[in-house]
Amino acid sequence: MWTLAEIAQHIDGVIVGDGSCEISNVSTLQAANEQQISFLANTKYKKYLSATHAAAVLVNKEMVELVPNNAIVVDDPYIAYAKVAALLNPPKQQTIGIALTASIESGVTIPETASIGPQVVIEAGVVLGEGVIIGAGSVLQHRVIVGKNTRIAPNVTLCHDVEIGDDVILHPGVVIGADGFGIANDKGKWIKIPQLGRVKIGNDVEIGANTTVDRGALEDTVIGHGVKLDNQIQVGHNVIIGDNTVIAGCVGIAGSTIIGKNCIIGGGVGIGGHIEIADGVTITGMTMVTKSLTTKSGAYSSGIPAEPTAHWHKNVVRYRQMDKLAARVKKLEQSEHDT
């Protein structure tokens, strides 16, 4: 349990109310009880504020007068909520040491502060940093390097020669360094192109469940510092993702694409290969990117939002008639010009 005063100090907030109030966890405005703290970050939830049973609410100064009990006033309630949730829910402490069922080859560097779970396989040449945690059933192939305080969940695969930075989180099912999709057509028959590069992942990166990052064909695939990847993302070979870029679930990134720093990419986006996306670009969900986006800090969208099926069918018919319509307009313009 933390007091409201301790929480306010942790997030640099201002208390309005009883600072000695004890808080056990975080919850929504609708579901919170008398020992929980909630937050109001989106005004559409303002209607739940007056009736909340939360012991305290994180709000900005414009909303503080509407809070029925205690409050902590902050500049950004959502960021404050994230910090409070982390404070009240620290990562589970792992038992330091190596499980009896782990399989570890010779020539491996494992510090005494590491935690190696059951059925883990670690091949020759692997180097682990201080405080590394490896969950049950994960596989680290030869010459993998893992930085300090990195947490690897169960059933993660790190293929040979992968380099992982410090303070990285890899969720279950992640595969780093599998072969990229390199094939060539030899007189109608597809032949495999050896994938000779590596994957290099920076510090403070988080990669969601079942996301795959392919190794480079010749040069390396590179994930920059502070990058956050959601679940079920495919990162192709030789892709470079700049520092602090965030990518939502089910995005597909084709090979040799360069994505800049501080980009935001929505769910379901498809990004073609051999293109470049500038720093600070935002791409909304379900967008298809086929050409380079070189304007910094721009926002890009494509796709058709959901609509009634009958309307959609009509629009598809009109779309298919656009070439004929354009030809008719051009002919009319030419006719007017001639007269």
Q: Which residues are catalytic?
A: 237
Query: What does residue 32 show for φ and ψ, rounded to 5 degrees?
Result: -65, 145
Alpha-carbon distance of 240 to 274, in angstroms, equals 11
Q: If you count them, how many residues does the chain have?
A: 339
Alpha-carbon distance of 241 to 281, in angstroms, equals 12
Contact 1, 21 (CB under 8 A): no
Sign of CA dihedral 281, 284, 286, 290: negative
Contact 315, 297 (CB under 8 A): no
The CA-based diameter of the chain, rounded to the nearest angstrom, is 91
Q: Which amino acid is at 273?
A: G
Q: What is the dihedral of CA 185, 189, 190, 194, to 10 degrees?
A: -90
Sign of CA dihedral 225, 228, 231, 237: negative
77-88 vs 4-11: helix crossing angle, rounded to 10: 120
Alpha-carbon distance of 227 to 207, in angstroms, equals 8
Alpha-carbon distance of 133 to 98, in angstroms, equals 10
Alpha-carbon distance of 294 to 157, in angstroms, equals 35
